[in-house]
């Protein structure tokens, strides 16, 4: 074990985290800029149809690359933990098992891209004129998926031990090559969509070759030796247990964003164009913040393995402060200079005005996502993946879909759509912090839906004396015997609680918020009135029912309860 292991387990944390994160941030920024160059070249030199074909595949490229990035997070955490604990044998097993896992994932995505591209594009109702080019682009682009998986594998290992400069250098080389090949294939060879995809696949192969070559030349326990490549069952299980939940989470994010895009598409074309222009800021800001998340996971995992709990906790708070500050700085700059930023993508004032509606909401909201994402990275750094993934899927994916079909469907305004981002971030962050934070704290949220309910019947109405009177009309008969249906009801409750343990006893204080939506007309239940009224005195007395009695939800209410268990 070389002395470089001390870089993450000893020394000033604030300086170390910053130095490790900056190359990661630059790598992420370069990746975004190189991807934007693909779109720029095909749009500038191949025409709008080719541009639309490439753009229509972006959701699937994001989905599958996000899965590979999530899988590499599991590799990063395991290598960092074993490296910090000085378990050289475990580091070696992880490095060589992870190579085969990553390669298998890349080959699987390659087959999906080659065989399933038509079906995937049909799911999005891709325009007929864009469909042939989109299928061709996906099939050629996915040829580089195994290489992309191997690059993420190497990047995860280097990041785990604090070496983030080498992946940055290799990405620069591959990115410059990507731009040159884009220009050559599109302008000289007139390959259009296929040329851009082929340039991306070749550059991914180059970056994978460089990072694997660097791993084979390392003089440490994380060195790659192709003669030792083999699947260790226990290590492989650990990699999959950490990486698969993260990968599926990233994939589900992409799927949830489809519903948001559908909401944007419900507006006019100006709003769609403005949203597309403003959305270019998302990857720039997210990826800069994501560098600190990866550093957080690496530092926490190494120090956790080294048995240094104080540095584990400090790593989380320092990385959280950095990521929040970066999000606030970049988002605030976008809020102030939003028109200048949008002018880079369009010259139409109406489109810029439409884009500013998104910038006005998102500019100061990016920093909120730091609380969610940094806490997720911290929990993974400690080897906890299943519960955080479930929380994220519910809070930031399922919640967004529900928002689109409820709140946005009701108001149908751009702010009501974009506000789902900060709201989902805050909700997920609170749940993550409550679960990941100090023990004894917890939160609980419950949602209920009730449909096809009826009032409780009163048997007296259905006796011969009341409902079976001679000469009674059908209208009166139905009034007594028909069982009234209650309106459908939706309820949302939340609670925050803290438990204190005293040997075998436990004291729990709970603050509950009932009827979170504050709906005053929510019907909890109902019953038919026990009384009837006579409407015609005499021998032929007729009766009419009183209206059913319903119980309604209390307005938004707070309850504080304290319980003690012996």
Closest to 384 measured CA to CA, from 374, 396, 392, 376? 376
Residue 73: predicted pLDDT: 81
Confidence of residue 202 (pLDDT cuts 50, 70, 90): very high
Residue 531: predicted pLDDT: 72
Q: Three-state SS string across 444-457, please?
A: EEEEEEECCEECEC
Rounded to the nearest integer, the mean pLDDT of the chain is 80
- pLDDT tens sequence across 449-500: 777 788 888 776 677 666 555 555 666 677 667 788 888 777 777 787 777 6
DSSP per-residue letters across 410-433:
HH--HHHHHTHHHHHHHHHHHHHH
Cα distances from 422 to residues 327, 330, 377, 419, 492, in angstroms, run: 13, 16, 19, 6, 19
pTM of the model: 0.67
SS3 state of residue 136: helix
Confidence of residue 358 (pLDDT cuts 50, 70, 90): confident
Q: Which of 121-125, 144-148, 313-317, 424-428 has the highest mean pLDDT?
A: 144-148
Q: Is the pLDDT of residue 26 over 70?
A: yes
DSSP per-residue letters across 283-297:
HHHHHHHHHHHHHHH
User: 59 versus 406: which is more confidently predicted?
Assistant: 406
Q: Is the pLDDT of residue 268 over 80?
A: no
Cα distances from 310 to residues 4, 7, 299, in angstroms, run: 20, 16, 12
Residue 4: predicted pLDDT: 43
Closest to 36 measured CA to CA, from 355, 277, 327? 277
Confidence of residue 438 (pLDDT cuts 50, 70, 90): low
- pLDDT tens sequence across 216-257: 988 888 888 888 888 888 888 888 888 888 787 777 777 777
Residue 412 Ramachandran class (φ > 0 left, ψ -120 to 50 alpha, else beta) = left
Element (H, E) at 563: strand 557-565
Residue 212: predicted pLDDT: 92
Q: Is the pLDDT of residue 436 over 70?
A: no
Angle between helical axes of 145-160 and 58-84 (0-180°, round to 10): 30
SS3 state of residue 250: helix
DSSP per-residue letters across 37-76:
HHHHHHHHHS-HHHHHHHHTTHHHHHHHHHHHHHHHHHHH
- Residues 156-179 have a mean pLDDT of 85
């Amino acid at each position: 074990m070389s002395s470089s292991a001390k870089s993450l387990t000893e020394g000033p944390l604030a300086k170390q985290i910053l130095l490790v994160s900056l190359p990661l941030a630059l790598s992420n920024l370069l990746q975004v800029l190189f991807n934007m160059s693909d779109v720029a070249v095909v749009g500038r030199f191949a025409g709008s149809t080719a541009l639309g074909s490439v753009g229509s595949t972006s959701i699937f490229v994001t989905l599958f690359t996000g899965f590979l990035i999530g899988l590499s997070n599991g590799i990063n955490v395991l290598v960092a933990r074993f490296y910090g604990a000085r378990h050289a044998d475990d580091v070696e097993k992880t490095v060589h098992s992870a190579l085969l896992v990553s390669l298998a994932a890349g080959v699987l995505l390659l087959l999906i891209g080659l065989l399933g591209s038509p079906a995937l594009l049909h799911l999005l109702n891709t325009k007929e004129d864009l469909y042939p080019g989109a299928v061709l682009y996906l099939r050629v682009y996915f040829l580089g998926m195994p290489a992309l998986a191997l690059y993420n594998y190497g990047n995860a290992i280097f990041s785990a031990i604090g070496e983030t400069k080498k992946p940055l250098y290799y990405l620069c080389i591959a990115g410059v090559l990507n731009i040159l090949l884009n220009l050559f294939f599109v302008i000289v060879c007139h390959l259009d969509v296929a040329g851009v995809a082929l340039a991306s696949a070749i550059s991914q192969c180059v970056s994978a070759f460089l990072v694997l070559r660097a791993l084979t030349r390392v003089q440490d326990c994380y060195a790659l030796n192709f003669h030792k490549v083999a699947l260790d069952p226990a290590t492989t299980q650990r990699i999959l247990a950490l990486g698969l939940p993260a990968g599926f989470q990233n994939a589900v994010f992409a799927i949830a964003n489809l519903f948001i895009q559908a909401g944007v598409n419900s507006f006019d074309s100006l709003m769609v164009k403005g949203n597309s222009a403003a959305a270019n800021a998302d990857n720039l800001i997210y990826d800069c913040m994501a560098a600190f998340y990866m550093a957080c996971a690496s530092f926490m995992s190494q120090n956790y393995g080294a048995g240094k709990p104080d540095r584990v906790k400090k790593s989380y708070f320092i990385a959280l402060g950095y990521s929040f500050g970066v999000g606030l700085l970049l988002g605030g700059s976008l809020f102030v200079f939003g028109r200048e930023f949008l002018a880079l993508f369009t010259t139409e004032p109406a489109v810029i005005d439409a884009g500013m509606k998104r910038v006005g909401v998102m500019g100061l909201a990016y920093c909120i996502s730091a609380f969610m994402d940094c806490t997720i990275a911290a929990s993974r750094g400690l080897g906890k993946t299943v519960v955080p993934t479930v929380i994220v899927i519910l809070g930031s994916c399922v919640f967004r879909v529900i928002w689109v079909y409820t709140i946005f469907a009701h108001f149908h305004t751009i702010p009501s759509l974009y506000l789902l981002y900060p709201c989902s971030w805050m909700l997920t962050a609170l749940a993550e912090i409550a679960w990941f934070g100090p023990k004894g704290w917890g939160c609980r949220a419950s949602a209920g839906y009730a449909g096809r309910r009826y009032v409780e019947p009163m048997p007296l109405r259905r006796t011969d004396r009341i409902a079976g009177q001679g000469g009674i009309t059908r209208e009166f008969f139905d009034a007594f015997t028909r069982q009234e249906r209650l309106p459908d009801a939706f309820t949302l409750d939340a609670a925050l609680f803290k438990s204190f343990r005293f040997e075998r006893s436990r004291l729990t204080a709970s603050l509950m918020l009932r009827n979170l939506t504050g709906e005053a007309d929510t019907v909890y239940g109902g019953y038919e009135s026990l009384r009837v009224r006579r409407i015609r005195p005499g021998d032929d007395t007729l009766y009419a029912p009183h209206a059913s009695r319903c119980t309604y939800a209390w307005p938004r209410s707070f309850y504080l309860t304290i319980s003690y268990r012996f």
